[in-house]
Amino acid sequence: MHQHKVRVYYEDTDAGGIVYYANYLKFMERARTEWLRELGYEQDTLMEQSVAFVVKRVEMHNYAPARFNQLLSIETHVVELKGASMTFQQIIKNEQDIKLVSGDIQVVCVDLATMKAKRLPRTLLGEISRVI
């Protein structure tokens, strides 16, 4: 299971004193990017090959708020892999290992020129199927 740390800065919080709800999706996207990087794939290189990822579906549950200056930990793993899409389960925890937020995120591989779905690059598909 992949883990990525995120610090909560002022920019992430709102006047309620907690992390603004949309920003958890930013944290999860950072974690997916780092997960992909550890598999050996840089998204700027993929974009040069006209390969990009678009989020198709989000299901997020917020159990407890994250607060300014906390160091969060995001666990990421793939729970479903199809030819042109994959679904991640991601869990955000605080330093006391309490689950704050969970997300199921379905991501579709698209051709950057047309934005139409296409199969994941063969080698990447192979890499991912090895780790799930």
Question: Which of 5, 38, 50, 54 is in the footprint of its own copies by CB under 8 A?
Answer: 54
Between 22 and 129, name the residue whose CB sits nearer to its own copies: 22
By the rule CB under 8 A, 47 interacts with its own copies: yes
Residue 111 falls in the annotated catalytic set? no
For its own copies, the binding residues in 101-130 under the rule CB under 8 A are 112, 115
- C-alpha 7/C-alpha 10 separation (Å) is 10
- Give residues with Cβ within 8 angstroms of 39, minimum separation 6: 124, 127, 128, 131
By the rule CB under 8 A, 9 interacts with its own copies: yes
Considering the candidates 14, 97, 104, 111, report the single residue annotated as catalytic: 14
CB of 83 to its own copies, least distance (A): 19
Backbone angles phi, psi at 26, to 5 degrees: -65, -45
- C-alpha 67/C-alpha 61 separation (Å) is 17
